[in-house]
């Protein structure tokens, strides 16, 4: 059986006031094409279909077109909700869609949804566990003690009657670690953790032949090769500029034999960082070296004042998302350094440095005695 694993589509996302809808539509068409070329037996979407609970209508239309094309081709879809999705909205008409081999796990009712398939090696069971907060799981499973995400996931998995002689896959959307070692993160992921309470150790998934993870945007394995984040199909922050975006192709053969490879996703517009002087970046020699339509973070190294630099840049690079002036970074670093420098000095030392810098005269013992007395009176409340 061959499956395509993707996640974190975030359809409807806006980056620095730039809508990603066209870019997402372009990426989804590639995923559909890859699924057809691979003659895939199913597509896994491991959460965060949309970027927010109530997605814009254009985002829903793009996703509808995507899944309709796959269903028309007879390719089953296995989908869970992520932390950005509304489980209730995503689960709408799920029982009807299941008849078309579109399996959706959004709302959890205490039973883990399972989709079963058969191939020449026998049965394959794919379990769908959506993103759920511990209080929700605690209420549904009527557990007295449940604080961490790991507790809640363990409780959910304990409801599965897992036949380990068969091939079992898990699709889920959590922050998974390996003996405390965290996955590689980027700026575009939402994570709020107090004392690591959202960490799930990979050992919880030992009974599964493959674990299709969502939530982290960089493709990577966790612990073993068969526990994997597919990553997002697009770059969603400038911390991801070096990511190779892809989908994971999973080939399940006999029990214990899982082959993995990736298929790259090409962006409509890449996300890049460029740095240099304004006049250099505006020269044809430079801008002809890459796609001027890419989304850019531009760092200008000019020390002189510039008039409307972003307007000038956008006359050649229309999709400049961020503009950074290096001189301002240096200025802020100097202010920070001076502030930290001052924090570690006494009031008398600060005044001595000020006096000597202004008058260019030595702060002698007589002046020191006068200022020491004055500071002692002020700080002691004598002059207040």
Instruction: Show Cβ contacts of residue 236 under 8 Å, excluding neighbours closer than 6 positions.
Output: 10, 13, 15, 20, 186, 188, 217
Widest distance between CA atoms in the chain? 97
- Predicted TM-score (pTM) of this structure: 0.84
Q: How far apart are CA 304 and CA 116, in angstroms?
A: 66
Q: Is 18 helix (H, G, I), strand (E, B) or coil?
A: strand
> What are residue 211's DSSP bridge partners?
170, 227
Dihedral (Cα; 361, 363, 367, 371), 10-degree rounding: 120
Residue 229: which of 220, 238, 242 has the closest Cα? 220
pLDDT at 374: 80
Separation CA 264–CA 227 (nearest Å): 19
- The answer to whether the beta carbons of residues 168 and 208 sit under 8 Å apart is yes
Residue 384 pLDDT: 45
- Comparing CA positions, the residue from 33, 99, 86 lying closest to residue 59 is 86
Per-residue pLDDT in tens (0 to 9) along the chain, 384 residues: 999 999 999 999 999 999 999 999 999 999 999 999 999 999 999 999 999 999 999 999 999 999 999 999 999 999 999 999 999 999 999 999 999 999 999 999 999 999 999 999 999 999 999 999 999 999 999 988 888 999 999 999 999 999 999 999 999 999 999 998 999 988 877 655 545 678 999 999 999 999 999 999 999 999 999 999 999 999 999 999 999 999 999 999 999 999 999 999 999 999 999 999 999 999 999 999 999 999 999 999 999 999 999 999 999 999 999 999 998 765 555 544 455 555 567 788 887 877 776 676 778 888 888 888 787 767 655 544
pLDDT of residue 379: 62
CB neighbours of 306 closer than 8 A, spacing ≥ 6?
278, 300, 312, 325
How many other CB atoms are there within 10 angstroms of residue 43's CB atom? 23
φ, ψ of residue 205 to 5 degrees: the values are -105, 20
Residue closest to 321 by CA, chosen among 298, 346, 339: 298
Element (H, E) at 99: none
Calculate the alpha carbon distances from 101 to 75, 116, 241 in Å.
8, 11, 36
Sign of CA dihedral 59, 62, 66, 67: positive
């Amino acid at each position: 059986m061959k499956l395509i694993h993707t996640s974190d589509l975030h359809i409807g996302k806006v980056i620095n006031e730039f809508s990603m809808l066209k870019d997402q539509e372009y990426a989804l068409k590639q995923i559909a094409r890859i699924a057809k070329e691979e003659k895939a037996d199913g597509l896994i979407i491991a959460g965060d279909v949309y970027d927010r609970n109530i997605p814009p209508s254009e985002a829903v239309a793009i996703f509808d077109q995507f899944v309709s094309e796959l269903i028309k081709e007879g390719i089953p879809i296995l989908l869970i909700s992520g932390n950005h999705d509304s489980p209730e909205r995503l689960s709408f008409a799920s029982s009807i869609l299941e008849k078309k081999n579109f399996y959706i796990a959004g709302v959890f009712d205490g039973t883990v949804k399972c989709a079963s398939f058969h191939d020449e090696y026998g049965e394959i069971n794919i379990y769908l566990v959506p993103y759920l907060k511990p209080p929700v799981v605690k209420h549904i499973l009527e557990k007295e003690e449940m604080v961490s995400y790991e507790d809640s996931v363990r409780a959910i998995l304990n409801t599965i009657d897992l036949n380990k002689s068969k091939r079992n896959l898990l699709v889920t959307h959590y922050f998974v670690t390996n003996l405390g070692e965290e996955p590689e993160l980027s700026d575009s992921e939402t994570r709020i953790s107090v004392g690591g309470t959202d960490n799930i150790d990979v050992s919880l998934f030992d009974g599964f032949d493959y674990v299709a993870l969502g939530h982290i945007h960089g493709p990577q394995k966790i612990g073993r090769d068969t526990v994997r984040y597919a990553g997002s199909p697009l770059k969603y922050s400038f911390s991801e500029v070096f990511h190779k975006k892809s989908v994971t192709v999973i080939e399940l053969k006999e029990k214990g034999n899982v082959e993995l490879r990736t298929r790259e996703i090409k962006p409509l517009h890449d996300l890049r960082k460029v740095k240099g002087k304004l006049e250099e970046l505006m020269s044809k020699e430079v801008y002809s070296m890459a796609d001027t339509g890419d989304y850019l973070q531009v760092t200008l190294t000019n020390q002189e004042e510039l008039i409307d630099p972003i307007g000038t840049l956008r006359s050649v690079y229309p999709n400049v998302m961020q503009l950074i002036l290096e001189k301002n970074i240096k200025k802020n670093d100097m202010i920070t350094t001076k502030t930290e420098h001052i924090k570690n000095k006494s009031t008398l030392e600060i005044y001595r440095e000020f006096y000597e810098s202004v008058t260019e005269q030595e702060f002698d013992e007589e002046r020191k005695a006068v200022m020491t007395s004055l500071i002692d009176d002020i700080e002691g409340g004598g002059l207040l």
